[in-house]
Amino acid sequence: MIRVRFAPSPTGFLHLGNIRTALFNYLFVKRQNGKFILRVEDTDRERSKPEFRQGLMEDMLWMGIRWDEGPEVGGDFGPYLQSERLPIYQKHIDKLISEGKAYYCYVTEEETEELKRLAKLERRPPRFDNRGRYFSKEEIESRKARGIKPTVRFKIENPQLKMHDLIRGDVSFNLDEMVGDFVIQRADGQPTFHLAVCIDDGLMQVTHVIRGEDHLSNTPKHILLLRAMGFEPPQYGHLSLIHGPGGEPLSKRLGDVSVKEFRRKGYLPHGLANYIALLGWAPGDNREIFKWEELMQAFDLARVNKSASIYDPHKLDWVNGEHLRALSDEDFSRFALTYLKEQKLLKHDESILHKILPIFKDNIERFDQLADRLEILNENLHYESKDLIQSEEGREVCKTALEILPTITDVGEAIYENLIQALKPRVKAKGKHLFMPLRIAITGKVHGPELKRLFPVFGIEGVKKRLERALNL
């Protein structure tokens, strides 16, 4: 059974990088009927907040990424919040110490900082020299007497390590050059990220760890630690970084790329998922637009690229626009209404919105563009060009249209055709001069959806009211 986990720290909003990790794990495991675990890494007590945890779960569900095990749904390997697993970690720490695989280290933080500073000065890697491992009994006693609280460090014994990364291929590490014995429990008793992650991956029987490239250098530590505790290390795959549109690190614009912000802008969850899937993965043919189901079938970790990808908001808009147009009118209205409600932009009657929303399907890319378009429903229109309705020609068009309207029977889009046919022989204006006054009088705007489609939304009465209002300006 394949088991993967997404292990966010609830210290902020989910952003593009995290959600791509979640998505790739999800797509990878779903195709193989495995289990997707959500594990919340909240051991950083100062920065972790319950509202971030709630927020990230809500954002995942909005995207359509559901966990088989984790907070709220439970599972056989819980608890799934690291803050609730402290006794489990302690047991493993004690065992590592009793087996001689880890030790209490009385080197203070000030000393390790000083070692790092010296290494930097001498242009050496800031490797810890393991001095605490060799302290004499007397040294330890004197440090204890000074009130120094120990950390627990894991002993690195076999520093040469090779592994096969599912995305990057063979990678070898020489930990001797990189790190010395590393801390698994801080002086205040908190387990470190490395320890918690390894115990959890081991106990939760995680088979594949797919995570960001920023964790690649942690992986040899994790493999050694897992083995020392008697766990078979999972297979690892490290996803390359995502850069901003100008090639800058994405970390510089995290506010712009949070899932919250994507929701605010009005992307469809599956449009966003489709775009994110393309950040590092390509199906190998020319397809770019995928429904959820298709994405699950097509996604293949072996085709994930190891070079960095660039976040391109224009492409995201394009992908989302394709998904919008693929919706039925009914679904389009439903998604749009949900969006307007969620973003507190619902300013008009829902029944009229239902009728008008599909009219915009072909010319928006995101739902946030609706707010502006829906201004044509306002009682008090803002007229972009009054001249066109106040000129003699314009007034004639509007007045004559008012006279003709009562003679037209209400038959959907034909209202407009019938009106124009009757209008043409009776007014001087032609072409643009005939259509524009009508458009401005009815919508206030120079550009907008086809009048033919708008007329049945307003109905003959609504059109009349708008023409009258324009004439009385």
Helices and strands in the chain, H and E counts: 20, 11
Nearer to ligand GLU, 221 or 361 (CB): 221
Please report how close the Cβ of residue 260 comes to ligand GLU at its closest, in angstroms: 17
Nearer to ligand GLU, 41 or 181 (CB): 41
| By the rule CB under 6 A, 41 interacts with ligand GLU | yes
Pairing of strands 35-38, 3-6: parallel
Of the ranges 4-12, 45-53, 96-104, 372-380, which one interacts with ligand GLU (CB under 6 A)?
Answer: 4-12
Q: Structure tokens of 35?
A: 């289990």
Complete edge-to-edge strand list for the sheet that includes strand 151-154: 102-105, 151-154, 182-185
Nearer to ligand GLU, 218 or 333 (CB): 218
User: What's the sign of the alpha-carbon dihedral 70, 73, 75, 81?
Assistant: positive
Under DSSP, the state recorded for 393 is H
Of the ranges 7-15, 114-122, 161-169, 296-304, which one interacts with ligand GLU (CB under 6 A)?
Answer: 7-15
Please report how close the Cβ of residue 241 comes to ligand GLU at its closest, in angstroms: 13
Of the ranges 208-216, 304-312, 351-359, 450-458, which one interacts with ligand GLU (CB under 6 A)?
Answer: 208-216
Place of tokens 């797509």: 27
| By the rule CB under 6 A, 7 interacts with ligand GLU | yes
Of the ranges 209-217, 239-247, 300-308, 455-463, which one interacts with ligand GLU (CB under 6 A)?
Answer: 209-217
Of the ranges 5-13, 50-58, 116-124, 420-428, which one interacts with ligand GLU (CB under 6 A)?
Answer: 5-13
Task: Using CB under 6 A, count the residues that bind ligand GLU.
Answer: 8
Backbone angles phi, psi at 238, to 5 degrees: -110, 120
Please report how close the Cβ of residue 8 comes to ligand GLU at its closest, in angstroms: 5
367 close to 353: Cβ distance less than 8 angstroms: no
Of the ranges 1-9, 148-156, 329-337, 360-368, which one interacts with ligand GLU (CB under 6 A)?
Answer: 1-9
Please report how close the Cβ of residue 92 comes to ligand GLU at its closest, in angstroms: 17
Annotate each residue in 165-204 with x if it binds ligand GLU (CB under 6 A) or - if it does not, as one string: --------------------------------x-------
Nearer to ligand GLU, 38 or 209 (CB): 209
Please report how close the Cβ of residue 368 comes to ligand GLU at its closest, in angstroms: 29
Nearer to ligand GLU, 163 or 197 (CB): 197
Place of tokens 């000065």: 121
| By the rule CB under 6 A, 14 interacts with ligand GLU | no
Q: Active site residue: 49, 91, 252, 341, which one?
A: 252
Please report how close the Cβ of residue 187 comes to ligand GLU at its closest, in angstroms: 22
CA distance 19 to 62: 11
CB contact set of 293 (below 8 Å; sequence gap of 6+) = none
CA distance 349 to 249: 44
Place of tokens 């929303």: 357
Q: Structure tokens of 153?
A: 């460090």
For residues 225-264, which are near ligand GLU according to CB under 6 A?
A: none
Please report how close the Cβ of residue 9 comes to ligand GLU at its closest, in angstroms: 4
Annotated active-site residue 137? The verdict is no
Backbone angles phi, psi at 218, to 5 degrees: -80, -20
Nearer to ligand GLU, 27 or 467 (CB): 27
CA distance 92 to 280: 37
Please report how close the Cβ of residue 121 comes to ligand GLU at its closest, in angstroms: 30
Nearer to ligand GLU, 51 or 293 (CB): 51
Please report how close the Cβ of residue 214 comes to ligand GLU at its closest, in angstroms: 7
| 447 SS3 class | coil
The enclosing H or E element of 238 equals: strand 235-239
89 close to 97: Cβ distance less than 8 angstroms: no
Q: Which candidate, 398, 409, 418, 405, places its Cα nearest to that of 468? A: 398
230 close to 198: Cβ distance less than 8 angstroms: no
Nearer to ligand GLU, 48 or 151 (CB): 48
Amino acid at 406: P
Q: Which candidate, 223, 200, 206, 209, places its Cα nearest to that of 88? A: 200
| By the rule CB under 6 A, 211 interacts with ligand GLU | yes
DSSP string for 312-331: -HHHHHHHHHHHHHHS-HHH
Nearer to ligand GLU, 211 or 270 (CB): 211
| By the rule CB under 6 A, 57 interacts with ligand GLU | no
Other Cβ atoms closer than 10 A to 418: 17
CB contact set of 123 (below 8 Å; sequence gap of 6+) = none
Q: Which candidate, 116, 126, 79, 95, places its Cα nearest to that of 195? A: 95
Q: Among all residues, which ones are annotated catalytic?
A: 252
Residues at the contact surface with ligand GLU, assessed by CB under 6 A: 7-9, 41, 197, 209, 211, 215
